Amino acid sequence: MRVIKAFGFSLDGLRAAFGDEAAFREVVLMALVGVPLALWLSLSPLATVLIVFTHVLTLVVELLNTGIEAAIDRIGPEIHAESKKAKDCGSAAQLVMLVWLVALWGMALAGRI
């Protein structure tokens, strides 16, 4: 029954991220708008798959970023160069995903993919 426990822990993580993190809620909202829109528009199959996949990946990156921030915050409130680096890298990963998502939408709407 390890799988059931793991599933419960995963749901706890989703609830925590959704309840505590405005950034996660924003990315969820983007996906709730973007995924149906990608399916509804007459985009190429490749563009549709890339957009849906990127929305999902953006959610995953935000969950990982939230986990990094929580772990660093748990260590202590003092400012430390390595803690800042970890948080900044998590934030940068999400920025890369969001820039890619915007670029992908732009290319898809322009008929480039």
Residues carrying an active site annotation: 62
Query: Among residues 98, 32, 29, 23, which one has the least CA distance to residue 68?
Result: 23
**Burial of 1 (C-beta count, 10 Å sphere; 0-12/13-18/19+):** exposed
SS3 label, residue 48: helix
d(CA 109, CA 50): 13
Residue that the structure tokens 């059931």 belong to: 4
